[in-house]
Amino acid sequence: MDEKGKAGITRQEALELLGKYLPQDNLIKHCLATEAIMRALAQKLGSDEGVWGIAGILHDLDYTETKDQMNQHTLHTEKILQGLGVSREIIDAIKGHNADNLGFQRGTVFEHALTAAECITGLIVATALVYPDKKLASVKPQSIIKRMKQKEFARSVNRDYIRECETIGIPLDEFAALSLQAMSRISDELGL
Ligand SMILES: [Fe+2]
């Protein structure tokens, strides 16, 4: 995990970038949750865990700067990461998760995976917060699916993006279970 490998950046370097550009605790947690799911997805699909994990960590790197101009979101990240020699594959996947605002269509498995992963984190956190202990340990995959069907629940979470898991061959219930399990492994870091 300390090697730059195909990613062109180490996990430690990626975390330092996060601390520099996106210091808000809740956003860092969102990125770590996304990383955990991306690693699990890479394992399942036979992709490079290190590469997919880094994309999870860095996908919202410029959010502080671009949150009010979403047609710029990920483009600042692209410049930063290009300058550091991060792999093109990672940069493209990061841009892909904002494809709608950038005016193109997602095409690769990596792009769909990142989009679905980063979106389901929000739904899972919101589901956990419903329970008295507010812990992931209380959440079952079926509760996530149930909440997903309630339009008013965590309404800012885009359900269509979560359903992109099906585009990459993972049924929704399986995706919810995999994501919950991945986030549960880092529940202490997530404070959930
Ligand atoms: Fe995100």
Instruction: Measure 97 CA to ligand 1 centroid, in angstroms.
Output: 8
- Tokens 């949750």, residue located: 33
| Residue whose C-alpha is closest to residue 165's, from 44, 36, 29, 26 | 44
Instruction: Measure 63 CA to ligand 1 centroid, in angstroms.
Output: 8
From first to last of its 192 residues, the chain has per-residue pLDDT tens of 457 889 999 999 999 999 999 989 999 999 999 999 999 999 999 999 999 999 999 999 999 999 999 999 999 999 999 999 999 999 999 999 999 999 999 999 999 999 999 999 999 999 999 999 999 999 999 999 999 999 999 999 999 999 999 999 999 999 999 999 999 999 999 999
Domain ranges of the chain: 5-186
Instruction: Measure 118 CA to ligand 1 centroid, in angstroms.
Output: 5
Contact 51, 42 (CB under 8 A): yes
Contact 44, 71 (CB under 8 A): no
Work out the number of other CB atoms within 10 angstroms of the CB of residue 122. 17
Instruction: Measure 188 CA to ligand 1 centroid, in angstroms.
Output: 20
Instruction: Measure 28 CA to ligand 1 centroid, in angstroms.
Output: 10
Instruction: Measure 137 CA to ligand 1 centroid, in angstroms.
Output: 23
- What 8-state DSSP symbol labels residue 108? S
User: Full-prediction pTM beyond 0.85?
Assistant: yes
Instruction: Measure 98 CA to ligand 1 centroid, in angstroms.
Output: 9
What distance in Å separates the CA atoms of residue 77 and residue 59, rounded to the nearest whole number?
A: 8
Separate counts of helices (H) and strands (E) for the chain:
12, 0
| Residue whose C-alpha is closest to residue 114's, from 33, 10, 13, 186 | 33
5-186: CATH topology is Hypothetical protein af1432 (1.10.3210)
